[in-house]
Structure 1
Amino acid sequence: MRTDPDTVAAKITVAHEHWPIRFEELMDRIADCFPRRETRMTCRNMIEAILTVQETANCWTLAESIGHRGPHVLQHFLSRARWNDDSVRDRVAAWAVGELGDTGVVLVVDETGDEKSSTDAVGASRQYSGSLGGVGLCQVAVHLSYATAAGHTLIDRRLFLPSGWAADEERRELAGVPEEVMFASKPQLAVDMLARLHAGGVTEAWVAADEVYGGRETRTAIRDLAYRYVVAVKTDHRVTVPAGTFTVTDLVKGLPVRSWQRLRTGSGTKGDRNYDWAVIDVLADDTPDGHPAGNSTLLVRRHRYTGTLSFYRCWSDAPHPLQELVGVVCRRWRIEEDFQAAKGLTGLDQGQVTGWTSWHRWSLMSMVAYALLAVTASLERGDTTQTGEVELVPVSCRELVKLLRGFALPRPRQDIDPEHALRWSLWRRRHQYRAATCHRRWNEATAASIT
């Protein structure tokens, strides 16, 4: 008897069947964070709409997809409605942690920027952003990703408020920045998220980050939480060994050839990616009071062909093999995958919100939608791996969204109700006309006052 591989593949591609169970489970977990049924239903509808719309996700497009007559319900939900977004964030994080498990946990911190056209958006200023490729007008937020052998997802975020914004009382009041919020550096925001997760029960994990978070104060705070770390450092970073204190660049010059070991760090379309690695024992410079010194090392990565070097400070309570340290470095890139998927699939950078509360609530709804995708995809990958009956690449979040739109998510209202689509077309054109008229009058008034 012959087995049709297409039939087998169809049977094991059941990610969309997991969706209703996971969705209802998470909605039940966060239900009492919403004191009113209306806000609870708006949350459900908004998460589904974020995954349904195929154009830019904002209050206009989401409201049209849900079936609202205007964006006012969603705008109220994001800016003024009474519900506990901090509690929603913590419960969603706990749910994701439970679903993804605790095997090989790596907590990854990194920041990403969202380009803006005006400084009216809270925290927007001319600042560096890697996602923009340089300095530009943008908002920057520090995110925390939870990565295990099963999968990974974003679980927390903090908006970076530049010092100019933090000191400007008028802009703070207009954007609704709480009085207790003061300037905090990106490493301080990262430590705050790690401390909150630690208090929530995740007490054993590696922390991975780039060189922005490689300062002594940050590493000391990570150790104070009893986390291990592998953190990138700059080429002029100084370390101490029994022979003295050297920059990491100078220290690696004395390594014998036998110290290097070639390891596979992943695979791409052109084959495996291999780098040369070396580990050097160094003296810890970040031991908190009352803590043991532990095992402090410098991990060095060398490109096979260009010879380019990258450096990582590592600490753990006991020695760990080179392969495990390299694995933590490789898993650090999971947060880049999270950024790409959350921006492309759940509108993380598309909210078009300007206030403090609305920014945090929009990013939270995006993260909830992405966490549902990531967890459901991880279940599908596990099912596919266990069957071994057909050759398939693991399901991606993007492929999962396509399945959900076809099988599980409600269809956009405008696709099934032509009158609804027409009403929204008229609403958009009327609103855009009024906005253009107001802008023109404002420009004429300001020009007249100048002359």
Structure 2
Amino acid sequence: MSLMVDITAEQPPLPGQMTVQDLTSEEVASLAEELLAYHQHFAPLFYRREQREWAEIYVRGLLTADVPRKNVEAMALRLLGVGPHAEREVRALQQFIGEGKWDDNALLAEHQRLVNETLGEEDGVLIVDGSDFPKHGDHSAGVAPQWCGHTGKKDNCQAGVFVGYASRKGATLLDRRLYLPESWFAEDHRTLWQDCQIPDETRFQTKHELAAELVEKIMASGRLQARWVACDEGFGDSPAFLQRLDATGLWYLAEVPRDTKVWPLLEVDGQTPRDRPSSWIHPQVSSRKGPVPRRERLHPSSPAKVPLEDLAKQWPASAWHRFRLLEGHKGPLVADFLVLRAILPLDRLPGPEVWVVIRRKVSGSPEEPEWKFYLSNAPLGTPLATFVRVSGMRWPIETCFAECKGELGMDHYELRFWRGWHHHMTLVILAHHFLVRWQQRLNQREGGPTTNNHTLFAHTG
């Protein structure tokens, strides 16, 4: 088979150590000055002077490397000391983060504007994902026995839905929402609902609905450049969710389960087109036996839907294209890619025409290859190399979670209230972006690159 030309895909920079350990005294002083300047972007958005002060202390505590467990008490004692007023100051910081009436939305709006300055690119990628937080007891907002990604099983936890952003310049988080399980809307949870100060207007929403709402809100604001949105199969498995992403004007690349069924638009030979969906709808003809059916149905002679895994196995080796790429901490990855056009079923009838992108890891077992399947609404003419690049742009949000939990105390909170969970996550998000900005500025001062360009080789053979 012929050798294709090499292409370059610019991936987000690989993450570095983000703590302030092992810095010189000059670098620590510079970091403190940078943090004060950064805080000034958000200070006017707090209602009172003491809120502005507590916010700066809380973010500073999240960034302090020698506080191993970053709950409110530990951060307050480390930063404010253990003097005669220590207990009062701990309670004040707890009240600020847990119940304080300050506007997360205003802070996150300014944050997203700053992210656009730091990382924004025209073809930037929004990333949808969930992150779970194991909890003992059942008295915190949203805690319930449910699937917990952290432990890999059904467990007692809180579940958060997050949207991140990645470009060639780096990655960070943009917004968050606590998932409230359906069980919390039952009558036996009313007392807990009140104890956790959950707003009365809160309605049940699935994780897909929460994620779609967050993406819609970001895109409607116009604060941030983005062209793509990526997600794993935990979100990509919902055609309704993909429809909402499509309506925002974004191009999605959504991982989907291997048993997802589509109508391929080409025969396996890659040349012969199938009939178009307009011929698949059963005509509605009146009958003596009853009224015209209200619901359209597939014509009996319409082609059968094909599971993506079966579809992948039908195509010859000549249809696949091999790429060598870098993906996060995993190092070099060699994979074969296949891209096809297909019709996605929607409510059992032909829905939108989409791209099917299939990735097969080369180093996997020939008997059981490692597959990944994606759907995309990107326009006709989108190069395969673009799909390959964007398929590697979902992992940065996992890196963000790892950094936020490992360095910034994202999962160290001991907060019961609905508002407290969102306040804490907001300030963790701000702290993470501060480190991203600071690292970028350090690179600029030291004459290093502000972006990492990883060569992506493509060939068949």
TM-score by shorter chain over 0.5: yes
Bigger shift: residues 81-90 or 337-346? 81-90
* 1:157 aligns to 2:169 (yes or no): no
Where in structure 2 are the equivalents of 1:237-316 lying within 5 Å? 237-242=260-265, 243=274, 244=303, 245-266=305-326, 272-284=332-344, 296-304=354-362, 305-306=364-365, 307-316=369-378
Per the alignment, residue 40 of structure 1 pairs with 52
**In 1: Cα distance, 2:215 partner to 2:340 partner:** 27
With structure 2 as the length reference, what TM-score do the two structures score? Answer: 0.76
**In 1: Cα distance, 2:211 partner to 2:33 partner:** 32
CA shift, 1:381, in A, is 4.3
* Counterpart pick for 1:233 among 256, 269, 290: 256
Q: Describe the shift of the 1:21–1:354 C-alpha distance in structure 2 as closer, same or farther (beyond 3 A).
A: same
Q: Secondary structure at the match of 2:343?
A: coil
**In 1: Cα distance, 2:102 partner to 2:399 partner:** 30
Per the alignment, residue 406 of structure 1 pairs with none
**In 2: Cα distance, 1:116 partner to 1:249 partner:** 37
Q: Describe the shift of the 1:268–1:34 C-alpha distance in structure 2 as closer, same or farther (beyond 3 A).
A: closer
Bigger shift: residues 175-184 or 379-388? 379-388
Q: Describe the shift of the 1:22–1:225 C-alpha distance in structure 2 as closer, same or farther (beyond 3 A).
A: farther
Amino acid aligned to 2:247:
D
Amino acid aligned to 1:207:
V
**In 1: Cα distance, 2:174 partner to 2:346 partner:** 27
* 1:54 aligns to 2:73 (yes or no): no
Where in structure 2 are the equivalents of 1:90-105 lying within 5 Å? 90-105=109-124
Where in structure 2 are the equivalents of 1:107-146 lying within 5 Å? 107-146=126-165
Aligned residues of 2:333 and 2:361 also touching (Cα < 8 A): no
**Percent identical residues:** 25
Aligned residues of 1:97 and 1:146 also touching (Cα < 8 A): no
Higher relative contact order (CA 8 A, sep 6+): 2
CA shift, 1:386, in A, is 4.3
Q: What is the root-mean-square deviation in Å for CA atoms of aligned residues?
A: 2.9
CA shift, 1:366, in A, is 1.3
Aligned residues of 2:125 and 2:167 also touching (Cα < 8 A): yes
* 1:358 aligns to 2:420 (yes or no): yes
Where in structure 2 are the equivalents of 1:372-451 lying within 5 Å? 372-381=434-443, 386=448
Per the alignment, residue 216 of structure 1 pairs with 239
**In 2: Cα distance, 1:203 partner to 1:283 partner:** 29
Aligned residues of 1:203 and 1:226 also touching (Cα < 8 A): no
Q: Describe the shift of the 1:151–1:118 C-alpha distance in structure 2 as closer, same or farther (beyond 3 A).
A: same
Per the alignment, residue 173 of structure 1 pairs with 194
Amino acid aligned to 1:65:
R
Q: What stretches of structure 1 of length at least 5 have no aligned partner?
A: 1-9, 395-451
Amino acid aligned to 2:138:
T
**In 2: Cα distance, 1:270 partner to 1:107 partner:** 22
More helix by share: 1
With structure 1 as the length reference, what TM-score do the two structures score? Answer: 0.77
CA shift, 1:51, in A, is 1.1
**In 2: Cα distance, 1:208 partner to 1:199 partner:** 18
Q: What do residues 366-421 of structure 1 show as CA deviations (whole Å, max 9, x unaligned)? A: 11111111222233345667479xxxx99xxxxxxxxxxxxxxxxxxxxxxxxxxx
Q: What stretches of structure 2 of length at least 5 have no aligned partner?
A: 1-21, 266-273, 275-302, 454-461
* 1:339 aligns to 2:401 (yes or no): yes
Aligned residues of 1:15 and 1:379 also touching (Cα < 8 A): no
Aligned residues of 1:219 and 1:286 also touching (Cα < 8 A): no
**In 1: Cα distance, 2:384 partner to 2:448 partner:** 29
Q: Describe the shift of the 1:303–1:72 C-alpha distance in structure 2 as closer, same or farther (beyond 3 A).
A: same
Q: Secondary structure at the match of 1:331?
A: coil
Q: Secondary structure at the match of 1:192?
A: helix
Aligned residues of 2:322 and 2:337 also touching (Cα < 8 A): yes
Per the alignment, residue 167 of structure 2 pairs with 148
Per the alignment, residue 432 of structure 2 pairs with 370
Bigger shift: residues 99-108 or 328-337? 99-108
Q: Describe the shift of the 1:164–1:270 C-alpha distance in structure 2 as closer, same or farther (beyond 3 A).
A: closer
Q: Describe the shift of the 1:15–1:278 C-alpha distance in structure 2 as closer, same or farther (beyond 3 A).
A: farther
Per the alignment, residue 277 of structure 2 pairs with none
CA shift, 1:109, in A, is 0.7
Q: What do residues 35-81 of structure 1 show as CA deviations (whole Å, max 9, x unaligned)? A: 21111011111111111143100111111012151211111101333
**In 2: Cα distance, 1:107 partner to 1:286 partner:** 24
Per the alignment, residue 414 of structure 1 pairs with none
